[in-house]
């Protein structure tokens, strides 16, 4: 800090160094950030709805009626 006033190099403002502001690579990144434990899985082909099970993604579950992959509702 050249002037000792907390502005950092060349006076670009306080807190402009690494680790302040910006977009971090933390959780909740993506198009559907953490849908949670509740909700349902729905079949895009026949419309069958089943309760979502925590820890099992809907796209990995086959529809009990037609065998298509379920999606999250």
Per-residue tokens: 37: 């434990």
- Global model pTM greater than 0.75: no
Condensed to tens digits (0 to 9), the pLDDT of residues 11-50 reads 565 655 555 555 555 554 545 556 677 899 999 999 999 9
**Residue 14's closest CA among 29, 31, 1?**
1
Q: What share of the chain is helix, strand, coil (3-state, %, to 5)?
A: 10, 15, 80
Instruction: For the chain, give every domain's residue range.
Output: 39-73
Residue 66 CB neighbours (<10 A):
12
């Amino acid at each position: 800090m050249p002037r000792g006033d907390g502005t950092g190099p060349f006076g670009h403002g306080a807190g402009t160094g690494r680790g302040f502001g910006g977009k971090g690579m933390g959780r909740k990144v993506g198009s559907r950030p953490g849908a949670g434990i509740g909700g349902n899985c729905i079949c895009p082909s026949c419309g069958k709805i089943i309760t979502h099970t925590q820890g099992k993604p809907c796209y990995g579950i086959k529809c009990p009626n037609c065998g298509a992959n379920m999606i999250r509702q």
